[in-house]
Structure 1
Amino acid sequence: MTAIGVSGVSGVLGLRPQAARAANAPAYNPGGQYDVSVSEVEFRRNAAGRMLMARIYQPKGSGPFPTVLDLHGGAWNNKDRHAEEPMDRAIAASGVLVVAVDLTLASEAPYPGSVQDANYAVRWLKLNAPKWNGSPSNIGVYGSSSGGHVAELLALRPHDERYSAIPLPQAPEVDASVAYVATRSPISNTFARFENAERRNREEMVKFNKIYFNPWETIHEANPQEILDRHEHVSLVPLLIMQGALDDNVLPEVQEKFAATYKAAGGTCEFHVFEDSPHEWVAKEGPQTDKARAMVKAFIARQLQA
């Protein structure tokens, strides 16, 4: 795990990921085939009074299995734990415990509400993964669209006191650090996406930004691209970005710039553009969706085997 300080000089926080994975990573074959059982448990009740749920995709086998946390998209204002069910099932069927959680919606609490949920979810999962035959070591994250934005913030700032504000009394010593992040169409530059929405007269996209980023200045404070541009002290875990070439929601050139900035800062970023694919191409079956599923599984395997 690489840390970048305000000077932009790289340093190391604890074990390098390669050493940690070699010591603790569970075995994983991305070509594995398992039956999957699906169950749900209560995750946490948010400040608005809604019980957030966790959906558990558990491979049927001896394990322990690698563990991945799924953070849903929905422009911070919509959707829930079911949003990426086909991807979650595909990953789980290869021998990964996948846990998809509800995130607080912007109408319930603005930023950093959903990031606090995600931070808590990592700690909660490190404590509870063994219940579902998952390994608490080397937990990864999969995030889509706004869930990808939350995943990037979670990984960049695992020890941010604002994000870790929700206590986990059963394991107060557990932190929210993760081993890797895989994303599909992540909002890696929040302000660039807002400007794109304004140019295209996407009134709902504009409105959703203003609900979530309240006060408005947080659209810059919580912008992964600007965080790197400011040379903040961050953690840089291996990152996968899958981007649709036809995406007019999160523009490919904006995503490409973020990937380049991440690598220039010292991180490992695999950036892949999917031809003839819009923002949410994985919602439909087809060759490009199959390719995305295979890419995520191969990425997970590389992180666990390095």
Structure 2
Amino acid sequence: MTGYEQPTEVVPPPPLDRECAAVLANMPPFPTLALETLKDVRQPPPGYEPPSDAVLSQGGAFIIEERFIPGGTGADISVVICTPAGAAAPRPALYLVHGGGMVSGTARQSMPGYMHLAEALGLVIVAVEYRLAPETPYPGPVEDCAAGLKWTFENSEELGVDGNRVIVLGQSAGGGLAASLILLARDHGHRMPLGLMLTAPMLDDRNNTVSAWQMEGIDTWDRARNEVGWAALLGSRRGTPDVSPYAAPARASDLNGLPPTFLDVGSAETFRDEVVAFASKIWKSGGQAELHVWPGGFHGYELLAPEAAISRETRAAREAWVRRLL
């Protein structure tokens, strides 16, 4: 890995939201993340059951289906499709790219956090099961995500999806992959979605912002864990000048031509500064972006503290943006 020196002055981090801090204080310590221990880290914690199709269907409100499709070069991947039962086709859709630091997570695990959008707006969710690093390093994961989006567009009629109203949504590491696949689509003349939603996206392999240093040892996904995720994806290239913007979107010098983009992040999380910088770069390039920095939110606060006031406001802001876009 390429190391970085801590900036000369790093002031104390912003205070955590009171409700979020209470939840964080009662959580067990996160296991140490290392490439050698990924097998253990990928195991669900005791008592956690990954959401089954029966749970995701919410008593028949949604129809859950899994399809196996061609992924990146030489790969087969799956997509999990969640369709509102009884809704008239064609429907708008969310193309969902899950989080997990590039090294863990599944499509089904990510879907419950966004089902409120499907319920409120009658959306189909298509969640891609991309291959994980380090077993599949860059460019495999982003190629899988791009292949899944291409498949969604090509099969939109069969899926009951309005191909002109597809929004790409990426969470955490999935946010970085979502931004990457949009840059690929822009630069290679592929079909673009209606919009792009990035929730606390993982964008910058250099891992050297003020917020990354401020939240070291505090955030649920801190600087040390971030180092491991990027190293899994990029190996020895992480942090070097030759990292592609298709791997780390913060490396892109020009963000012209992106669809309308929504970004949100907590003020007390590792990714704060890289997300703010990415939004600023979109504006500098003449693009349209809506940015929310939620005061006192740590990484994943809206999922781990769903009843906190800022979590409810976060979900409402996301829904309002999608509703306006549609």
TM-score normalised by structure 1 residue count = 0.73
Secondary structure of 2:155's partner? helix
Corresponding residue number in structure 2 for 1:226: 251
Secondary structure of 1:135's partner? strand
Report if the CA contact (8 A) 2:182-2:192 is conserved: yes
Q: Which of 218, 226, 235 in structure 2 is aligned with 1:205? A: 226
| 1:117 CA drift (Å) | 1.0
Looking at structure 1, the residues matched to 195 and 173 of structure 2 have their Cα atoms a distance apart, in angstroms, of 17
Corresponding residue number in structure 2 for 1:237: 259
Structure 1 residues 4-27: Cα deviation after superposition (integer angstroms, max 9, x where no partner): xxxxxxxxxxxxxxxxxxxxxxxx
Looking at structure 2, the residues matched to 57 and 197 of structure 1 have their Cα atoms a distance apart, in angstroms, of 39
| 1:180 CA drift (Å) | 0.9
Corresponding residue number in structure 2 for 1:267: 287
RMSD, matched Cα:
2.8
Matches within 5 A, 1:52-71: 52-60=77-85, 61-71=87-97
Report if the CA contact (8 A) 1:53-1:81 is conserved: no
CA 1:137 to 1:199, structure 2 compared with 1: closer, same or farther past 3 Å? Answer: closer
Looking at structure 1, the residues matched to 69 and 228 of structure 2 have their Cα atoms a distance apart, in angstroms, of 28
Corresponding residue number in structure 2 for 1:254: 274
Letter in 2 for 1:40: E
Q: Which blocks of at least 5 consecutive residues in structure 1 are unaligned? A: 1-33, 162-173
Corresponding residue number in structure 1 for 2:40: none
Q: Which blocks of at least 5 consecutive residues in structure 2 are unaligned? A: 1-59, 218-222
Q: Which of 176, 188, 192 in structure 1 is aligned with 2:203? A: 188
Bigger radius of gyration among the two: 2
CA 1:124 to 1:215, structure 2 compared with 1: closer, same or farther past 3 Å? Answer: farther
Report if the CA contact (8 A) 2:62-2:82 is conserved: yes
| 1:143 CA drift (Å) | 0.4
Whether 1:149 aligns to 2:176 is: yes
CA 1:293 to 1:78, structure 2 compared with 1: closer, same or farther past 3 Å? Answer: same
Secondary structure of 2:125's partner? strand
Looking at structure 2, the residues matched to 290 and 207 of structure 1 have their Cα atoms a distance apart, in angstroms, of 31
Corresponding residue number in structure 1 for 2:28: none
Corresponding residue number in structure 1 for 2:66: 40
Report if the CA contact (8 A) 2:302-2:314 is conserved: yes
Letter in 1 for 2:98: H
Letter in 2 for 1:56: I
| 1:198 CA drift (Å) | 11
Q: Which of 188, 192, 199 in structure 2 is aligned with 1:177? A: 192
Report if the CA contact (8 A) 1:48-1:109 is conserved: no
Secondary structure of 1:178's partner? coil
Q: Percent identity?
A: 21
TM-score normalised by structure 2 residue count = 0.69
Looking at structure 1, the residues matched to 177 and 229 of structure 2 have their Cα atoms a distance apart, in angstroms, of 15
Letter in 2 for 1:268: Q
| 1:212 CA drift (Å) | 0.5
Corresponding residue number in structure 1 for 2:139: 112
Letter in 2 for 1:210: A
